[in-house]
Copies of this chain bind each other. A is one copy, B any other.
Amino acid sequence: MIKLLLTDLDGTLTIDRGTYKLDLEAINSLRRAESSGVKVALVSGNSYPVLRGLYNYLGLSGGIVAENGCLVFYSGNSIITCDTVPRRLIDEFKAIFNLKESWQNEFRKADFGFTPAEINNEMIKWASERDLVVQSSGYALHLSGKPGGKGVGVRKLLELHGIVREEVAAIGDSKTDIEMFEYATIRGAVANADPALLKVSNVTLKLKSGRGVTEFIDMILR
Protein backbone atom coordinates (compact mmCIF):
# COMPACT_ATOMS: atom_id res chain seq x y z
CA MET A 1 0.00 0.00 0.00
CA ILE A 2 1.27 3.46 -0.97
CA LYS A 3 1.81 5.78 2.02
CA LEU A 4 3.96 8.48 0.43
CA LEU A 5 3.81 10.19 -2.97
CA LEU A 6 6.97 11.99 -4.08
CA THR A 7 6.29 14.63 -6.68
CA ASP A 8 8.56 16.86 -8.70
CA LEU A 9 7.36 20.46 -9.20
CA ASP A 10 8.51 22.12 -12.45
CA GLY A 11 7.05 20.43 -15.53
CA THR A 12 5.14 18.01 -13.29
CA LEU A 13 2.68 19.99 -11.14
CA THR A 14 2.58 22.76 -13.76
CA ILE A 15 0.27 22.94 -16.79
CA ASP A 16 3.18 22.03 -19.09
CA ARG A 17 6.97 21.84 -19.17
CA GLY A 18 8.62 25.26 -19.48
CA THR A 19 6.00 27.18 -17.48
CA TYR A 20 5.67 27.97 -13.78
CA LYS A 21 1.87 27.99 -13.83
CA LEU A 22 0.54 25.33 -11.44
CA ASP A 23 -2.17 22.99 -12.72
CA LEU A 24 -4.88 23.66 -10.11
CA GLU A 25 -6.63 20.36 -10.83
CA ALA A 26 -3.33 18.57 -10.05
CA ILE A 27 -3.16 20.45 -6.73
CA ASN A 28 -6.68 19.33 -6.00
CA SER A 29 -5.58 15.75 -6.74
CA LEU A 30 -2.65 16.07 -4.29
CA ARG A 31 -5.17 17.13 -1.65
CA ARG A 32 -7.37 14.13 -2.50
CA ALA A 33 -4.32 11.90 -1.99
CA GLU A 34 -3.64 13.55 1.39
CA SER A 35 -7.23 13.09 2.55
CA SER A 36 -7.09 9.43 1.46
CA GLY A 37 -4.06 8.83 3.71
CA VAL A 38 -1.29 9.21 1.12
CA LYS A 39 1.12 11.90 2.30
CA VAL A 40 2.57 14.07 -0.48
CA ALA A 41 6.18 15.32 -0.55
CA LEU A 42 7.64 17.95 -2.89
CA VAL A 43 10.98 16.90 -4.42
CA SER A 44 12.49 19.75 -6.42
CA GLY A 45 15.51 21.79 -7.41
CA ASN A 46 13.92 24.90 -5.90
CA SER A 47 15.11 26.55 -2.69
CA TYR A 48 13.68 25.60 0.70
CA PRO A 49 11.63 28.79 1.40
CA VAL A 50 9.96 28.64 -2.04
CA LEU A 51 9.03 24.99 -1.53
CA ARG A 52 8.05 25.42 2.13
CA GLY A 53 5.69 28.24 1.12
CA LEU A 54 4.06 26.10 -1.57
CA TYR A 55 3.97 23.08 0.79
CA ASN A 56 2.15 25.04 3.51
CA TYR A 57 -0.29 26.81 1.21
CA LEU A 58 -1.06 23.73 -0.92
CA GLY A 59 -1.80 21.78 2.27
CA LEU A 60 0.74 18.94 2.03
CA SER A 61 2.23 16.85 4.85
CA GLY A 62 4.80 14.39 3.41
CA GLY A 63 7.81 16.71 3.67
CA ILE A 64 10.12 18.55 1.30
CA VAL A 65 13.27 17.63 -0.58
CA ALA A 66 14.65 21.00 -1.70
CA GLU A 67 17.82 22.18 -3.44
CA ASN A 68 17.79 19.17 -5.77
CA GLY A 69 18.26 16.73 -2.88
CA CYS A 70 20.58 18.80 -0.65
CA LEU A 71 17.98 19.95 1.93
CA VAL A 72 15.28 17.81 3.54
CA PHE A 73 12.40 19.04 5.67
CA TYR A 74 9.93 16.86 7.53
CA SER A 75 7.84 17.36 10.62
CA GLY A 76 9.57 20.51 11.87
CA ASN A 77 13.17 19.50 11.15
CA SER A 78 15.34 20.57 8.22
CA ILE A 79 18.57 18.75 7.40
CA ILE A 80 21.33 19.62 4.92
CA THR A 81 22.52 16.46 3.13
CA CYS A 82 25.30 17.84 0.89
CA ASP A 83 28.53 19.72 1.49
CA THR A 84 27.95 23.48 1.37
CA VAL A 85 29.59 25.45 -1.45
CA PRO A 86 31.80 28.51 -0.73
CA ARG A 87 30.42 31.67 -2.34
CA ARG A 88 33.68 32.29 -4.28
CA LEU A 89 33.20 29.01 -6.20
CA ILE A 90 29.66 30.03 -7.14
CA ASP A 91 30.98 33.37 -8.43
CA GLU A 92 33.79 31.62 -10.28
CA PHE A 93 31.46 29.08 -11.96
CA LYS A 94 29.12 31.88 -13.01
CA ALA A 95 31.94 34.02 -14.46
CA ILE A 96 33.86 31.26 -16.28
CA PHE A 97 30.79 29.82 -18.02
CA ASN A 98 29.04 33.17 -18.47
CA LEU A 99 25.87 32.15 -16.61
CA LYS A 100 23.00 34.01 -14.99
CA GLU A 101 22.26 33.20 -11.34
CA SER A 102 18.82 32.16 -10.11
CA TRP A 103 17.13 34.79 -7.89
CA GLN A 104 16.82 31.94 -5.36
CA ASN A 105 20.59 31.50 -4.87
CA GLU A 106 20.49 34.06 -2.05
CA PHE A 107 18.25 31.63 -0.13
CA ARG A 108 20.20 28.42 -0.82
CA LYS A 109 22.76 26.49 1.24
CA ALA A 110 24.32 23.68 -0.81
CA ASP A 111 22.83 23.68 -4.33
CA PHE A 112 22.84 26.71 -6.63
CA GLY A 113 20.94 27.37 -9.85
CA PHE A 114 22.07 29.01 -13.08
CA THR A 115 20.76 29.53 -16.60
CA PRO A 116 20.98 28.70 -19.44
CA ALA A 117 20.35 25.07 -18.49
CA GLU A 118 22.75 23.54 -21.04
CA ILE A 119 25.52 21.44 -19.51
CA ASN A 120 28.89 20.76 -21.17
CA ASN A 121 32.00 18.67 -20.51
CA GLU A 122 34.11 21.63 -19.37
CA MET A 123 31.56 22.32 -16.63
CA ILE A 124 31.60 18.70 -15.48
CA LYS A 125 35.42 18.74 -15.43
CA TRP A 126 35.55 22.08 -13.58
CA ALA A 127 33.09 20.84 -10.92
CA SER A 128 34.71 17.45 -10.44
CA GLU A 129 38.17 19.05 -9.93
CA ARG A 130 36.63 21.07 -7.07
CA ASP A 131 34.72 18.16 -5.47
CA LEU A 132 31.42 19.63 -6.69
CA VAL A 133 28.58 18.16 -8.74
CA VAL A 134 26.96 19.82 -11.76
CA GLN A 135 23.62 18.65 -13.21
CA SER A 136 20.98 20.04 -15.57
CA SER A 137 17.27 19.71 -14.82
CA GLY A 138 16.39 21.03 -18.25
CA TYR A 139 15.22 24.20 -16.46
CA ALA A 140 18.45 25.19 -14.74
CA LEU A 141 22.02 24.09 -14.14
CA HIS A 142 22.57 22.95 -10.55
CA LEU A 143 26.00 23.27 -8.91
CA SER A 144 26.11 21.52 -5.55
CA GLY A 145 28.31 20.03 -2.88
CA LYS A 146 28.72 16.24 -2.73
CA PRO A 147 26.94 13.90 -2.98
CA GLY A 148 24.27 16.08 -4.72
CA GLY A 149 21.23 14.89 -6.68
CA LYS A 150 17.67 14.12 -5.59
CA GLY A 151 18.57 10.57 -4.42
CA VAL A 152 20.41 11.59 -1.26
CA GLY A 153 17.52 13.80 -0.15
CA VAL A 154 14.84 11.23 -0.93
CA ARG A 155 16.75 8.54 1.00
CA LYS A 156 16.90 10.82 4.05
CA LEU A 157 13.18 11.67 3.75
CA LEU A 158 12.19 7.96 3.66
CA GLU A 159 14.39 7.39 6.71
CA LEU A 160 12.61 10.23 8.57
CA HIS A 161 9.24 8.68 7.61
CA GLY A 162 10.47 5.20 8.57
CA ILE A 163 8.99 3.71 5.43
CA VAL A 164 10.29 1.49 2.66
CA ARG A 165 10.35 1.62 -1.15
CA GLU A 166 7.26 -0.63 -1.39
CA GLU A 167 5.18 2.13 0.22
CA VAL A 168 6.38 4.91 -2.06
CA ALA A 169 5.14 6.23 -5.42
CA ALA A 170 6.90 8.98 -7.40
CA ILE A 171 6.07 11.16 -10.38
CA GLY A 172 8.28 13.43 -12.47
CA ASP A 173 9.19 14.75 -15.90
CA SER A 174 12.97 15.19 -16.14
CA LYS A 175 16.34 13.45 -15.90
CA THR A 176 16.86 14.77 -12.35
CA ASP A 177 13.90 12.61 -11.29
CA ILE A 178 15.72 9.36 -12.20
CA GLU A 179 17.43 9.25 -8.77
CA MET A 180 14.06 9.82 -7.04
CA PHE A 181 12.61 6.84 -8.95
CA GLU A 182 15.20 4.53 -7.36
CA TYR A 183 13.30 4.93 -4.07
CA ALA A 184 9.76 4.29 -5.41
CA THR A 185 7.85 1.15 -6.30
CA ILE A 186 5.36 2.94 -8.59
CA ARG A 187 7.23 5.31 -10.90
CA GLY A 188 5.11 7.55 -13.09
CA ALA A 189 6.47 9.67 -15.94
CA VAL A 190 4.16 12.32 -17.36
CA ALA A 191 3.40 11.98 -21.09
CA ASN A 192 5.77 14.83 -21.99
CA ALA A 193 8.65 13.54 -19.82
CA ASP A 194 12.27 13.31 -20.92
CA PRO A 195 12.84 9.97 -22.77
CA ALA A 196 15.54 9.06 -20.21
CA LEU A 197 12.94 9.19 -17.42
CA LEU A 198 10.34 7.29 -19.45
CA LYS A 199 12.91 4.50 -19.72
CA VAL A 200 13.08 3.97 -15.91
CA SER A 201 9.37 4.55 -15.21
CA ASN A 202 6.85 1.72 -14.84
CA VAL A 203 3.78 3.89 -15.46
CA THR A 204 3.71 6.13 -18.51
CA LEU A 205 0.90 8.60 -18.18
CA LYS A 206 -1.30 9.40 -21.20
CA LEU A 207 -1.54 13.04 -20.17
CA LYS A 208 1.17 15.65 -19.86
CA SER A 209 2.45 17.46 -16.73
CA GLY A 210 -0.29 18.35 -14.20
CA ARG A 211 -3.01 16.43 -16.02
CA GLY A 212 -0.73 13.39 -15.86
CA VAL A 213 -0.46 13.89 -12.08
CA THR A 214 -4.25 13.68 -11.73
CA GLU A 215 -4.25 10.55 -13.92
CA PHE A 216 -1.51 9.04 -11.69
CA ILE A 217 -3.25 9.84 -8.41
CA ASP A 218 -6.55 8.44 -9.71
CA MET A 219 -4.63 5.22 -10.42
CA ILE A 220 -2.96 5.09 -6.98
CA LEU A 221 -6.20 5.79 -5.10
CA ARG A 222 -8.28 3.32 -7.14
Contact = CB atoms under 8 A, between A and B. Distances in A.
Interface of A: 9, 14, 20-22, 24, 27-28, 46-47, 49-54, 56-59, 103-104, 107
A46 B52 contact: no
A51 B53 contact: yes
Contacts of A58: 21-22
A53 B9 CA distance: 12
A20 B59 contact: yes
Contacts of A54: 53-54, 57
Nearest to A73: B103
Given A20-B57, A50-B52, 19 more contacts: A9-B57, A21-B58, A22-B57, A22-B58, A22-B59, A24-B24, A24-B27, A24-B28, A46-B53, A47-B49, A49-B49, A49-B50, A49-B53, A49-B107, A50-B53, A51-B53, A52-B103, A53-B53, A54-B57
